[in-house]
Amino acid sequence: MLTGQNGYLYGRGTTDDKGPIVATLFAIRELLARQRSAENNAEAAGVDMPNFVFLYQGEGENQSQGIRETVEDNIGFFGPIDLIFISNNYWLGDTTPCLTYGMRGCLEIQIKVEGPGVDLHAGVDGGAIREPILDVVALVNRIVDPATGKYTEPAFYDDVRPVAAEEIALFESLEFDVEAYKATLGVSTLLPAFGGDKAAATSVVDVLMNRWRFPAVSVTSIKGSIANSSIIAKAAQTELTLRTVPDQSPAEIERLVLAHIRREFDALQTTNRLSIVVKSNVPWWLGDIHSRYFQAAEQALEKHWKKRPMLVREGGMSQITTFLKTTLKAPCMHFPMGQASDRAHLQNERIRLRNLRTGKDVLVDFFAAIAQDTPTEKPRSD
């Protein structure tokens, strides 16, 4: 049940993302009211009104099932689109508004090694056969370096876009408390700077670039076909999650990684059998912060929050962002509305009333601004 307390609304989905949805609808209602008011008052200034096409889904926790088919089957209803506006993430902290301009891609791979036809007793058969778990361990050890967290095939990093001076300045401008982040995670050290030595990363730039701007590899599961201290598992498997970034080609990376894993497995010289399944391969997304959309958004945010917004990225991917961008042939914007401490998806999820109200005001100005110079409405004046 929605509960108000200390300036916050508490309830499941308040910040992710029923709150932002409602704020957007209120912003549009206000724009429509202004337009009607202008039409009724010959002396008032005209109001530019964009066309909005709404796309809501309730399957975000379920791989967004059906959304692709819905868009593809109704493409005439959606197009032409100038901008894809998404608001389902959060600020980097609690005090400075953010605009999200990039997300990493994600290649998920399941690796399985099969050996004997049956699980075996470690006493009866231990010492006789080569164990599939040990092959999985040896393989993982060959493809990810635990000390740096890096993928061991250097070619994996060949196409990572070099860091531009402008980008470093952008990261340096971010307000982020590394010690608080470590405390939240419950760790005493973080991985070293990407490409740096083994000294732990301590700067904001290092930490945030590791999380948003550079690729990462995680071993998200590892297990045998049976977990019993007397039994040798007949098979074992592991799952790798590789976060990809500009300008890695998802298809090329997939080819490279699969070939590399097979090569390293061959080097183990085992008669156990390897199989690899690509579970998903979602492309990264990078918005154009120099576009008129980002600039209009920055101006509207600064006007209402009285401070410049932070331009941030995210480490996780949004499958739907790249799909919409590609299918509707339009740029994307992620417009976060809630605070980092909103506890999205958790108990006591909340959103601050001020964020909803000011968010609505920001959107009114943002939508009005981009309506003025939307190419499909009229030629741009600049």
Q: Which of 21, 83, 138, 330 binds a copy of itself (CB under 8 A)?
A: 138
φ, ψ for residue 273, nearest 5 deg: -110, 135
- Check: CB of residue 214 under 8 Å from CB of residue 245: yes
Q: Is 314 in the site for a copy of itself (CB under 8 A)?
A: yes
Q: Is 313 in the site for a copy of itself (CB under 8 A)?
A: no
Q: What is the rounded CA–CA span in Å between residue 86 and residue 21?
A: 9
Nearest-approach distance from CB 305 to a copy of itself, in angstroms = 24
Is 9 in a helix, a strand, or coil? strand
Q: What is the rounded CA–CA span in Å between residue 191 and residue 200?
A: 5
Size of interface with a copy of itself, in residues (CB under 8 A):
78
Nearest-approach distance from CB 6 to a copy of itself, in angstroms = 25
- For the chain, state the CA radius of gyration: 25
Q: Is 129 in the site for a copy of itself (CB under 8 A)?
A: yes
Subset of 185-244 contacting a copy of itself (CB under 8 A): 185-191, 194, 198, 201, 207, 210-211, 214-224, 226-234, 236, 239, 241, 243
Q: Is the dihedral of CA 198, 204, 210, 211 positive or negative?
A: positive
The pair of structure tokens assigned to 40 is: 């009724």
Q: What is the rounded CA–CA span in Å between residue 136 and residue 7?
A: 52
Nearest-approach distance from CB 74 to a copy of itself, in angstroms = 29
Nearest-approach distance from CB 201 to a copy of itself, in angstroms = 8
- Select the span of 2-10, 14-22, 80-88, 140-148 touching a copy of itself (CB under 8 A): 140-148
Q: Is 126 in the site for a copy of itself (CB under 8 A)?
A: yes
Q: Which of 19, 102, 116, 336 binds a copy of itself (CB under 8 A)?
A: 116
Q: What is the side-by-side order of every strand in the sheet holding 216-224?
A: 216-224, 235-244, 105-114, 273-282
User: Which residues 6+ apart lie within 8 Å of 117 measured at CB?
Assistant: 234
End-to-end CA distance of the chain: 49
Residue with smaller CB distance to a copy of itself, 24 or 225:
225
Nearest-approach distance from CB 230 to a copy of itself, in angstroms = 7
Instruction: Specify the residue for token string 């926790």.
Output: 61
Nearest-approach distance from CB 200 to a copy of itself, in angstroms = 8
Q: Is 380 in the site for a copy of itself (CB under 8 A)?
A: no
Q: Which of 22, 49, 55, 268 binds a copy of itself (CB under 8 A)?
A: 268
Q: Is 275 in the site for a copy of itself (CB under 8 A)?
A: no
Nearest-approach distance from CB 73 to a copy of itself, in angstroms = 29
Enter the DSSP assignment of 359: H
Give rounded-to-5 percent helix, strand, coil for the chain.
Answer: 40, 20, 40
Enter the DSSP assignment of 95: S
Q: Is 149 in the site for a copy of itself (CB under 8 A)?
A: yes
The pair of structure tokens assigned to 85 is: 């506006």
Q: Which of 76, 127, 162, 379 binds a copy of itself (CB under 8 A)?
A: 127
| Per-residue mark of binding to a copy of itself, 75-104 (x: CB under 8 A) | -----------------------------x
Q: What is the rounded CA–CA span in Å between residue 21 and residue 27?
A: 10
Q: Which of 130, 260, 325, 343 binds a copy of itself (CB under 8 A)?
A: 130
Residue with smaller CB distance to a copy of itself, 25 or 137:
137
Q: What is the rounded CA–CA span in Å between residue 278 and residue 262?
A: 13
Residue with smaller CB distance to a copy of itself, 143 or 301:
143
Nearest-approach distance from CB 317 to a copy of itself, in angstroms = 6
Residue with smaller CB distance to a copy of itself, 215 or 309:
215
Pairing of strands 310-314, 98-103: parallel
User: Which residues 6+ apart lie within 8 Å of 184 measured at CB?
Assistant: none
Q: Which of 13, 34, 49, 108 binds a copy of itself (CB under 8 A)?
A: 108
